[in-house]
Amino acid sequence: MNELPARRLLPACPFPNLAWYKVAISEGEVILDHRENYVKQTDRNRIFISDSNGRKFISLPVHRRNATGRNMSDIVFTQEVNHIVIMRQIRTAYSSAPFFEHFELELFDFLKEFAKPGNSLLEFNLASLSWIEQMIGLTREGGFMESSNYTETAELWEGDFRRKSAFSNEVWSFKRYAQIFEDRNGFIEGRSVLDAMFHEPNEVKNWCLETYLRTLKK
């Protein structure tokens, strides 16, 4: 079992998985980077869920606010973003989960407010972390440092979890918990925190803490 580096950098992701939260809530210095360049085809604009057909992700459609901007704060939702469609995908996946109905209305209201064309992806992602905190109390004690002065990954690579696939199943071993489609799909690791809270919200923090690094990869 690998220990987490004492100083760590996290990307801002929408409803991230339990490995992200393990890095976030463990002891040490944690910086939530608001300034990184947007990385395509990563968890910056994806919500990883599972349904009766197995693993999938919800892609949040985005584009750059202007031709030159690449910072996360320059990324906004396109006209194709639709809170009703996003909620339908989540409902299809989790309507049978034990605690889905407990959070359904609040989640729909969240999506209605933040998943709008022209809205900031960064604001959506940060708001999703606040929403999880409000719903189940999962957060970092004392909060995060909110920006990064570390721009070269080589200076801090072991603690730089902005790297692509930093929260993949190859890097992490996730705590197993009961999932509604486990009988046909087996346990699917690395899903959004939503997956865990819809199944047993009171255990999510413990499941985060029992998630651990298999290895540190560049």
User: Quick check: pTM over 0.85?
Assistant: yes
Indicate the pLDDT class of residue 157, thresholds 50, 70 and 90.
low
Per-residue pLDDT tens over the stretch 39-73 = 888 999 999 999 999 999 999 999 988 767 688 98
Range list of H helices, 3-116: 18-25, 83-94, 100-114
Residue 91 CA, distance from chain mean position: 18
Q: Identify the CA nearest to 50 among candidates 105, 10, 96.
A: 96
Cβ atoms of 50 and 187 closer than 8 Å: no
pLDDT at 154: 44
How far apart are alpha carbons 51 and 114 in whole angstroms?
A: 24
Per domain, the residue ranges of the chain are: 7-213
Sort strands 212-213 and 46-51 into parallel, antiparallel or unpaired.
Answer: unpaired
Q: Which residue has the tokens 């992806």?
A: 121
Q: Is the predicted pLDDT of residue 93 greater than 70, yes or no? A: yes
What's the average model confidence in pLDDT over 156-183? Answer: 90
What's the average model confidence in pLDDT over 114-141? Answer: 96
